[in-house]
Amino acid sequence: MVARAYRELTDSEKVVWDRFYEAFDFRPSMHRFPAIIEPIPSVTWSVSGLDDDPGGIPGCVG
């Protein structure tokens, strides 16, 4: 038997995701960007200096 690479969310986890979807107008997509609406003001910082950074990820803006 092959193990699944995921597990179903529990009811309490679904509640958290529902709040996230609503708070950030979350629209997961491989083609439509941005996937979230950031609150204003918001802060973004680079994590590229981490020791285990595999290098840049194509398509990401830093």
pTM exceeds 0.75, yes or no? no
Question: What CA–CA distance (Å, rounded) separates 21 from 37?
Answer: 10
Q: Are 46 and 62 in contact (CB under 8 A)?
A: yes
Residue 62: predicted pLDDT: 47
Residue 19: predicted pLDDT: 92
Q: What is the DSSP string of 2-62?
A: PPPS--PPPHHHHHHHHHHHHHHT----SSSS-SSPPPSS------TTSTT--S--TT---
Q: Mind listing the pLDDT tens digit for each residue in 9-47? A: 899 999 998 998 998 888 888 888 888 888 888 888 777
